[in-house]
Structure 1
Amino acid sequence: MKVKLTYVFDAYCGWCHGFGPAVTGFAAANAGRIELDVVSGGLFTGARVVPIGTMPYVAGANARIAELTGAEFGPGYQALVADGRFRMDSTAAATGFAALRAAAPGRALEAAEAMQHAFYVDGLSLSEPATYRHLAGRLGLDADAVLAGFTDTAATRDFTRAARLGVTAYPALLLHTGTGVVRLGGPTSTAAQLTGALGRHLASVSA
């Protein structure tokens, strides 16, 4: 019987961008024993949707993320930071992610990674329909079907689910147990470290 995990990320979260490859590697290495759901969190919503130029910590945080995880912050994204006017809207990104997830339910993690590459490397807005046409093509999906799946209620459902899981910071990889959820690793964990953490939890349950 597979164990259930939930990965809560935000497409506009730099630490999630750094953590994504580790989660992907972990999921691939443990495909035979885990069932992984991917859910959007709401990092930038409401009054937090402001021009990126008003966030003086961004450049330093990105340098730290790159140093600790090897994440790439490409020229397209760097241009957005330099310009300063771009607004990261997590509701729009979560809406787009939900549409991609609905079009390819078994490839949610791949869709999340594709979105973060589109933003953090290529500098594409995750609020624009054109970006999702691009992503649909990259993922081999029907672009019209993806765009038809855009509903704000999908984003709200994800935000509510993340809140019910007690997630207040991203990324969060959660293992569901009989007594609640257990967080596996942290933003700088490797795939091997996540696999080790999962193994220890499963061993403690069966002991």
Structure 2
Amino acid sequence: MDDRHLIYFADPMCSWCYGFWPVVAAIDAAFGETLPIRLVMGGLRPGTTEAMTEEAKANVLEHWTHVHEASGQPFDKSVLDREGFVYDTDPAARAVVVIRRERPDLALAYLGAIQKAFYAEGRDVTQGDVLAEILAETVPGADIAAFRANWESEEAANETWTDYAISQRAGVTGFPTLVGGPDERGQFGVVTRGYAPPEQVLPILADWAGRPAQ
């Protein structure tokens, strides 16, 4: 079917999504034209207002260790050392939604750049200035002023929370989640719930697409 595509439920500040990023990039490189990826922001911790406690930081670092062991992705924990750091995932998700609306062809790359900035470089992606810097680095010549205005808009906030609602209605309970469809009955099937290595995911999609993975 010509309208087949993938739906990727993810969050820019989800460590397992960061671990899954090389797999997503490989999927896009191999099947981007035949199985385009539609991004939906999952809403990991949107609207969080409380600063992280030492216990919360320890729990997060434990998760990061597991992700590193499974995926090999590098981590820089310095962002958690910032005094009063609030792990609010909404600003970064909203930034991806803004780019998805304005430049859908760049949304996936921008998601990956935010993940790298946060996890590998220790940058605070809850801040608008940092998100704008990442965009400038990812998309040379991007209209940063327009991005900031759109990111701060009520329209962008509503669209982002609509994403969260879509994720919930779809029954997505964890990230990353990748689904594909529609099939001949118009239904979507799960490719993977949670992290999976490329050697597990790519053959599934190659079989579905009817050609070898590159």
- Specify the TM-score bucket, using the shorter chain as the normaliser: 0.7 to 0.9
Deviation by residue 1:10-69 (Cα, 9 ceiling, x = unmatched): 111110110011111111111231121011111113568551634232122111110110
Q: Compute the displacement of 1:125 (Å).
A: 2.0
Matching residue's letter, 2:23? A
Aligned to 1:193: 200
Is it true that 1:125 corresponds to 2:124 in the alignment? yes
- Counterpart Cα distance in 2 of 1:184 and 1:23: 12
Pair 1:3-2:4 in alignment = yes
Give structure 2 stretches of 5+ with no counterpart: none
The change in CA–CA distance for 1:186 and 1:161 in structure 2 (over 3 A counts) is: closer
Unpaired segments of 5 or more residues in structure 1?
none
Give the structure 2 partner of residue 81 of structure 1.
80
Match of 1:59 in 2: 61
Tell me, what secondary structure is at the counterpart of 2:188?
Answer: strand
Identity of aligned residues (%): 23
Paired letter, 1:18: G
Give the equivalent residue in structure 1 for 2:70. 68
Aligned to 1:99: 98
CA–CA separation in structure 1 for the residues paired with 2:27 and 2:43: 24
Query: Which ranges of 4 or more aligned residues in structure 1 deviate by more than 6 Å?
Result: none
Note closer, same or farther for the CA distance 1:36–1:50 as it changes in structure 2 (3 Å cut).
same
Stretch deviating more after TM superposition (146-155 or 4-13): 146-155
With normalisation by structure 1, the TM-score equals 0.86
From the superposition, tell whether residues 142 and 198 of structure 1 become closer, same or farther in structure 2 (CA, over 3 Å).
Answer: same
In structure 2, what is the Cα distance between the partners aligned to 1:35 and 1:102? Answer: 16
The two structures have a TM-score, normalised by structure 2, of 0.83
- Measured on the aligned residues, the alpha-carbon RMSD in Å equals 2.2
User: In the TM superposition, what is the alpha-carbon distance from 1:176 to its structure 2 partner?
Assistant: 2.2
Q: Which residue matches 2:28?
A: 27
Distance in 2 separating the partners of 1:52 and 1:92: 20
